[in-house]
Structure 1
Amino acid sequence: MTYQHQELAAGRWERLTFFEQMANIGSEVERSLNWRAKQQPSLAQRAFERALELLDLTLAGAATPARLRELARVREAMADYFAGRNQFASSDASWRRYFAPFTTAVRRDR
């Protein structure tokens, strides 16, 4: 697999805290949502793929079964929303609400 985030895939990702990882994933999701709103499907797709890549890196390092379950569920719902039929009835707002606390936590800790 060719990683778009080569440096992160090479080991830097594992040194980030879980909150930093989730905030970075949230940034890519936000980019995808913004590109969709601007009617730029190819750019939205690329941002979605980067979000999945980062989520997969996070899944690979999941420390506990509970975290693994949550991340797998997030991945499933994200794929359903951005590339599927949206069976989970997600919305742009629901994705923003999910990732916002991670971004807030990271900003607060800096």
Structure 2
Amino acid sequence: MITARWSLEKAFVDVAAVVGDDGRPLVETRGADPRSCSAWREQLDKIDEELIVWSRTFKRVYGSSAVVSGPTRDGDDAGSFEEADDDVEVRNGWDRPEDAMEGAD
């Protein structure tokens, strides 16, 4: 999940980094096609709705005080996202192949 989030962020940063002949970002000088922006926003809205459901499910299963530490937005490292993600997977038993495959038949 962490890799997917980073890929999304990288795609956004890459689009914003495209520069014109004057060296300024094209999205700042020319904007972006509203249809493309709407498509991105629609997709992000769907993801946002699902993330709310996932968060509520986590709180219901582990309690509302359950906290998984990880780096903050300002770069302070309280543990890596990978460690936090791995920690959740271990608690859920998803780190064992036999558990991950249960119900897949």
TM norm. shorter chain > 0.5 = no
Structure having the larger proportion of residues in helix: 1
Higher-Rg structure is 2
**TM-score normalised according to structure 1 size:** 0.28
**TM-score normalised according to structure 2 size:** 0.29
